Structure 1
Amino acid sequence: MTDDLLARAIALVRHTGLDYGFLAEAYERNALLQGAKVSLLVMLSTVVLSLVFGVGLARLLVSPHKRVRWLAQGFIELTRNTPTLVQLCCAFLVVNTLITQTLARWQLTNPLTPFFWAVTLLSLHKAAFHAEALRAGIEAVPPAMLEAATSLGFSARERLWRVQLPLALRAAWPSLMNNTVELVKASSLASAIAVGDLTYSALMIWTQRDNVLECMVLLLLFYGVVTYAVHALGVWIERRLQMPGYGATGHAALGSAAHA
């Protein structure tokens, strides 16, 4: 039944000049499906880790210790001011190679895979942007709220985690979602270091079949659908996080950022 529907869809689309006959081949169809699964896994992993790393960096940015703040700011500036692809290639082709050579002296195998490097570097790169958005949100918390928390006996750490960060998250949410949408699109860079995602699978297919247009249309549709889903989820969460009278944010800003 599924094969029959696929054959009809291929025949229907062929009238537009696009030949998706290669999808009838089980090997190439399965390669694309597996690539889509890997892409989604990269996206999910980087979205979660970038938020975790971003919160950690934001905490360092508001640290009372000047040297800690300088180190965190230096990392953020280095990360934001260099291309993601360059960072990814340097980590995988330089750092990973040095680790492999070092472990080889003890006859050990490097356990760090291209997937690890892609997820780690993409997460750290976007965490720098998350951190700045959260820092601005933390500093925007009204002093009266901090004074109220202090009067209730909250320590500085408790004020940060129980008052400032929750409010900063609400204030920074549109910026965080804009960064997340960009991260979802940037996940395709994982193919540059041979991570078997959808972009890499499509590249392997069009190299053999010379059907670049058909594969590119598939990639555009896939990333377009996923990006829109992330945007819609972000708008829904933003509505849930809104607090009457404090930090009300409009959906237009998030929507325009997601489609930028």
Structure 2
Amino acid sequence: MAVILITGAGRGIGAATAKMAARSGYAVAVNYRTRREEAEAVVAEIQAGGGKAVAIQADVSVEGDVVRLFDECDKKLGGLSALVNNAGVLETQSRVEGLTRDRLERIFATNVFGTFACCRQAVQRMSTKHGGSGGAIVNVSSVAARTGSPGEYVDYAASKGAMDTLTIGLAHEVAQEGIRVNGVRPGFIYTEMHADGGEPDRVQRVKQFVPLRRGGTAEEVASAILWLLSDASSFTTGAFIEIAGGR
């Protein structure tokens, strides 16, 4: 059974991806930082449907936690074949003039450094150069990497821009080692993350700026992620799918 590790999988896009991956035949490592009950609920739902899943606590912004996360995944599920870097954080809406160094360090520690660390651990396991059998990585970026998210989340947008650069560079680096690396860029998606920024109903306010005039769902993003992980996208690497309603 193919093994997938999904970071930040206790809610939103991560949880939807975990459930969809299980239905596609993956054994799923559901990573969470603090939302233990939510992660365990995702695992329970997968198991109730006949799938295999485990919840593993780890803060991807902490180097030691990342190493432990992958080691535990190896022990509990077996050799890794897919990674989804979904864990991400944002903070209360702010203009750049109000951003502090501490806030920037928190955002980049998870969204950038954590993604790099997880990619490193995955490549060490998947790469044919290291005796692996290959695999696929999908990084969950954001349309904000293109738009800059002015007046709200320029720091978050910049972190996602860094993730996009990592996606392209790593894709080229490991293309001949059996690993494909791609990204998805969600737009305005109905998830709890907007509450972290101080505006739970943000999608309702901004959906008028989306050509399709609605927000997206976590399941729509998960479908794109699963396609990029599948053999159906075997000639796709270093690419991005935008799930943003045409924005």
Common fold: TM-score over 0.5: no
Q: Which has the higher helix share?
A: 1
Q: So what's the TM-score if we normalise by structure 1?
A: 0.26
Query: Relative CO higher for 1 or 2, CA cutoff 8 Å, sep ≥ 6?
Result: 1
Q: Greater Rg, structure 1 or structure 2?
A: 1
